[in-house]
């Protein structure tokens, strides 16, 4: 039976007041300690190894032990195996294989696709948080089908690849028993040919019935100097389409709050669009399948080096890559440690208040110790009021829902918060109407 609770004491008494930038998240000492293990020196060494393979074009040599995509993926696989050995075989390492047609080529060749995945199993193996980067490279600005010339790809996306590898190492070492949800640390191929590897993995997870909490990609996260000499090593952009039903904007707000909690001197700049204009990333196939997805990217890009032989190791700032990786770790660990978000919501205007309050309902979440409602004006960038609803699935909220957005999230016994589900989001999943009494 649903329990109707009266309005509880909120973090602020007015929707216009400002809630803490951390949105009520509490710092986990284990996560905070793990951030210090992210090593810029190790990131540099790993990226140097990737660059040494000459080219990592998806259609490049697969047999050479020293050059091409095959040598690169075998090296990545071996590194991840060693990380697993170091944490008592806590990680499950695999090749995710398939094939795809390269639609960007007039010949439309079929290419073997090999992603490399490190799984950190959680208590719920059906629920997954995905964090990835693409290890393929190209000189697409001159010839996207040139798979023999050098394409170092140190920043695009060697920087993202080594960040994800470092996350697998540190999180395996610090959290060998995993979290509530499983984590997939994945290195994609085929990104430069049309997001082929990430599409393959998104389809696989869908086919296997996995529930993906969120899918992140690290793509181009190492440059701090613009062509005009401007520098920025203190902020990072996060791209997420502002779909209330899918929850991309909610995911951006989650990262924004987690960053303010764990790394307050490193500014998170949410950009509420799927990606940069005319560009794409490996979070897109997940978003297209109704999964919250987000891209981490450096604040200052230099298009004179992307997709060119000039994308060299010398222009990657590894202390900056480490900052992005620490933000990744805090975000992924917080989401994996938290319960799932409520899947369905419903609302009803409260007649007794003259329509100035609304009854909010949501579907129960396994392992939730309670729930919170978050309120913001429709024009506000983030939430400004937090209401503790208690361990119920129905709540009378003293807000005029016509004028605001309200999100509901689950809170675990250890205080970790889930992603927020927007109540009454257009196109969102709705609870069935309760039976008439």
CATH topology of domain 4-26+341-422: Immunoglobulin-like (2.60.40)
Q: What pLDDT, on a 0 to 100 scale, did the predictor assign at position 245? A: 93
Euclidean distance between CA atoms 236 and 328, whole angstroms: 11
Q: Please state the φ and ψ torsions of residue 40, each to the nearest 5 degrees.
A: -60, -35
Listed by start position, the domains of the chain span 4-26+341-422, 36-337
Q: What pLDDT, on a 0 to 100 scale, did the predictor assign at position 270? A: 96
Q: In what order do the strands lie in the sheet with 4-5?
A: 4-5, 394-397, 358-362, 345-349
Q: What pLDDT, on a 0 to 100 scale, did the predictor assign at position 30? A: 98
Question: Half-sphere exposure of 19 toward its Cβ, with a 13 Å CA cutoff?
Answer: 25
Q: What pLDDT, on a 0 to 100 scale, did the predictor assign at position 19? A: 57
Q: Sign of the C-alpha dihedral, residues 255, 252, 284, 52?
A: negative
CB 232 within 8 A of CB 302: no
Q: What pLDDT, on a 0 to 100 scale, did the predictor assign at position 108? A: 87
Euclidean distance between CA atoms 65 and 403, whole angstroms: 62
- pLDDT per residue of the chain (437 residues) written in tens, 0 to 9: 233 333 333 344 445 555 578 999 999 999 999 999 999 999 999 999 999 999 999 999 999 999 999 999 999 999 999 999 999 999 999 999 999 999 888 888 899 999 999 999 999 999 999 999 999 999 999 999 999 999 999 999 999 999 999 999 999 999 999 999 999 999 999 999 999 999 999 999 999 999 999 999 999 999 999 999 999 999 999 999 999 999 999 999 999 999 999 999 999 999 999 999 999 999 999 999 999 999 999 999 999 999 999 999 999 999 999 999 999 999 999 999 999 999 999 999 999 999 899 999 999 999 999 999 999 999 999 999 999 999 999 999 999 999 999 999 999 999 999 999 999 999 998 998 776 55
CATH superfamily placement of domain 36-337: Zn peptidases (3.40.630.10)
CB 321 within 8 A of CB 159: yes
Enter the pTM of the model: 0.94
């Amino acid at each position: 039976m649903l329990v109707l609770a009266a309005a509880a004491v909120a973090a602020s008494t007015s929707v216009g007041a400002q809630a803490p930038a951390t949105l009520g998240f509490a710092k986990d000492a284990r996560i905070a300690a793990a951030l210090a293990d992210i090593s810029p020196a190790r990131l540099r060494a790993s990226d140097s190894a990737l660059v040494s393979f000459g080219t990592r074009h998806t259609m490049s040599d697969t047999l050479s032990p020293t050059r091409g995509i095959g040598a690169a993926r075998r090296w990545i696989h071996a590194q991840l195996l060693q990380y697993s050995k170091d944490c008592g075989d806590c990680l499950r390492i695999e090749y995710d294989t398939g094939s795809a047609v390269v639609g960007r080529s007039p010949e439309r060749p079929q290419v073997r696709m090999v992603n490399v995945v490190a799984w950190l199993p959680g208590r719920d193996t059906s629920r997954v948080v995905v964090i990835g980067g693409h290890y393929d490279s190209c000189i697409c600005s001159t010839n996207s089908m040139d798979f023999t010339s050098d394409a170092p790809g140190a920043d695009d996306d060697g920087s993202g690849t080594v960040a994800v590898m470092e996350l697998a190492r540190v999180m395996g070492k610090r959290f060998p028993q995993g979290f509530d949800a499983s984590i997939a640390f994945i290195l994609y191929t085929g990104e430069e040919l049309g997001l082929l590897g990430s599409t393959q993995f998104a389809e696989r997870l869908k086919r296997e019935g996995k529930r993906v909490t969120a899918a992140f990609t690290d793509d181009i996260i190492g440059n701090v100097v613009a062509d005009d000499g401007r520098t920025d090593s203190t902020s990072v952009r996060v791209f997420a389409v502002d779909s209330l039903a899918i929850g991309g904007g909610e995911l951006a707000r989650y990262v924004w709050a987690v960053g303010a909690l764990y790394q307050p001197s490193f500014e998170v700049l949410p950009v509420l669009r799927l990606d940069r204009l005319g560009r794409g990333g490996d979070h897109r196939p997940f978003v297209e399948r109704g999964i919250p997805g987000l891209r981490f990217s450096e604040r200052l890009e230099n298009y004179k080096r992307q997709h060119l032989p000039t994308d060299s190791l010398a222009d990657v700032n590894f202390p900056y890559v480490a900052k992005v990786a620490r933000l990744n770790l805090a975000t992924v660990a917080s989401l994996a440690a938290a319960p799932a978000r409520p899947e369905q919501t419903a609302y009803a205007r409260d007649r007794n208040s003259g329509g100035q309050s609304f009854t909010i309902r949501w579907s129960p979440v396994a392992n939730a110790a309670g729930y919170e409602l978050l309120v913001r004006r429709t024009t506000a960038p983030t939430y400004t009021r937090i209401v503790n609803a208690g361990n119920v699935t129905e709540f009378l909220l003293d807000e005029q829902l016509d004028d605001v957005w309200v999100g509901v999230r689950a809170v675990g016994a250890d205080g970790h918060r889930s992603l927020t589900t927007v109540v009454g989001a257009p196109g969102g999943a709705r609870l069935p109407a309760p039976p008439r009494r």
